[in-house]
Amino acid sequence: MRTPLPALPAFVDVLAAAARIAPHAHVTPVLRAHSLDALAGCEVFFKCENLQRVGAFKFRGACNAVFALSDADAARGAVTQSSGNHGAALALACKLRGIALTVVVPEGAPAVKLAAIADAGATIVRCAPTMAARNAATEALIAETGAVLIHPFDNVHVIAGQGTAALELLREREDLDAIVVPVGGGGLLSGTALTGRALRPEMAVWGAEPTGAADAHASLQAGHCIVDRVADTVCDGLRGQLAPRTLALLQRHADGILLADDAQTVAAMRLLWERLKLVVEPSGAIGLAAVLAQPVRFAGKRVGIVLSGGNVDLDALPWRMRA
């Protein structure tokens, strides 16, 4: 017997998300650099989600999910497991709505990220560093408090919120031939694909994924979620794996996944720092890496790239420093 398909968001949910997050989220700028166009052999339009609140597009989905809660659900508070950009984004969104958030984090999570979450007023609960322990701790919390789980990507409102970045980009540049966004769990790519198909069906929608964490690429080829891979990549934001919900959306609406290895991604990241003067994290630079790696595919096209985030440890940059 087939597993029933999970509820899928539609483009109307992206429009609702845009209205819901408008009082809170930044409309981020779209930037260009002549020298990067020349390198890529195409016209590139960078949607700067590293300039979004908390430094990542994740605020869009988190904000939409938090403000979409009924008053009754909101009163019980929210819970999540992410200590990364989703955790920080959710912490800010919950603070803005004035509701409680608990974040389950594994022992050993970076102190600086936990500090950002705690600064926004969220409660941190530690658990053993295994997925089983995280799930058990999360389920115990939900059973105990009735808190609402807001998953980083397997959530209709989160996906719809992430689709608002492409909505803004297409409002500013309605003539794009392609859009390329990073893919980890697939929330951003799903939302982007929903928006792209609705507003500009002739535009190609690509995910960009690290070769060291190419589970989305493999899952689309296999036709089911592949979840037994061990990620090995500098892109700490792209280690998530598709859920049935995001897989279904990508199967319907995305054109495919382009791969880039870590050396290509770090080189692209450095180009973005040098030429665009933007602090972009590795996960945020993989879109440019994928475009630079596919010069024939994109030659002469108008290509949107979502720079997904800019949260990086300035004391540990991934290129060699001079002494």
List interacting residues with a second copy (CB under 8 A): 29, 31, 34, 50-51, 53, 55, 270, 273-274, 276-280, 310, 314-317, 319-322
Burial degree of 137 (CB within 10 A; 0-12, 13-18, 19+): buried
By C-alpha distance, which of 237, 317, 239, 214 is closest to 284?
237
Residue 121 CB, nearest distance to a second copy (Å)?
14
| Rg of the chain on CA atoms, in Å | 19
Token code pair at residue 222: 């296999």
Return the number of other C-beta atoms located less than 10 Å from residue 202's C-beta.
8
Residue (174 or 274) nearer to a second copy, CB: 274
Residue 316 CB, nearest distance to a second copy (Å)?
6
Residue 187 CB, nearest distance to a second copy (Å)?
21
What's the Cα-to-Cα distance from 102 to each of 107, 128, 152, rounded to whole Å? 15, 16, 14
Residue (31 or 248) nearer to a second copy, CB: 31
Residue 226 CB, nearest distance to a second copy (Å)?
33
Residue (32 or 224) nearer to a second copy, CB: 32
Residue 300 CB, nearest distance to a second copy (Å)?
22
DSSP symbol at 56 = B
Residue 246 CB, nearest distance to a second copy (Å)?
26
Query: Helices 187-199 and 11-21, interaxial angle, to 10°?
Result: 110
Residue 76 CB, nearest distance to a second copy (Å)?
27
Residue (252 or 275) nearer to a second copy, CB: 275
Residue (96 or 125) nearer to a second copy, CB: 96
Token code pair at residue 49: 């989600």
Residue (236 or 273) nearer to a second copy, CB: 273
Residue (50 or 219) nearer to a second copy, CB: 50
Token code pair at residue 134: 């995280």
103-134 burial by CB neighbour count: b if 16+ within 10 A, else e?
A: bbbbeebeeebbebbeebebebbebeeeeeeb
